Amino acid sequence: MGARRWRSGARRVRNTARVDVSRKRRIRFVVALSAAVLLAVALAYTSFSASSEAKTPSQLASTAQIGKTYQLTGKVVAGYTQVGNTTYFRVRDRSGAASVPVSYAGSLPDPFRAGREVVIDVRKVGGTYVGQKDSLVTKCPSKFSAAPTKRS
């Protein structure tokens, strides 16, 4: 016997079973929602795992290791000096007298001055903390202090 030939008038049978449109939408929604949840969890994980707590000068003075990078927070002590592009200053605790020497090579933010709170990434080199370039940030005191309440 030879191969069957289709007659010109013969009809092929097609699979006419279709997926319900509402079910298709529901499947797409569940897939998109699952992807969004996975991305949100990944973002939260990387954000929290990459962060490190800022250290105060008194904490750094007692625990800092040479060559390791730390995030330092505190207030700038009066009497800083600039030599060329490098600024030499001390950072003290918010409510204390402990301070550490910092050298920072780079441009200073406009609000940088004595008494202003700063956050900077530093690396201990000998007895001095060397600030990482472009890591010096000053905090605006009006944004971080409690606003006085008005009474009538």
Residue 4's alpha-carbon distances to 10, 61, 65, 122, in angstroms, are: 12, 92, 85, 83
DSSP summary character for residue 55:
B
The amino acid present at 135, given as its one-letter code, is S
DSSP summary character for residue 41:
H
Ranges assigned E (strand) in the chain: 69-76, 81-83, 86-92, 99-105, 117-125, 128-131, 137-138
Taking only the tens of pLDDT, the chain with its 152 residues reads: 555 555 555 566 566 667 788 889 999 999 999 999 999 999 988 877 766 678 889 888 888 888 888 899 999 999 889 898 899 999 999 887 889 999 999 888 888 888 899 999 999 888 889 999 888 988 876 655 555 555 55
Distance, C-alpha 63 to centroid of its chain: 24
Let me know how many helices (H) and strands (E) the chain has, helices first.
Answer: 3, 7
**Sign of dihedral through CA atoms 124, 125, 128, 129?**
negative
pTM confidence score: 0.59
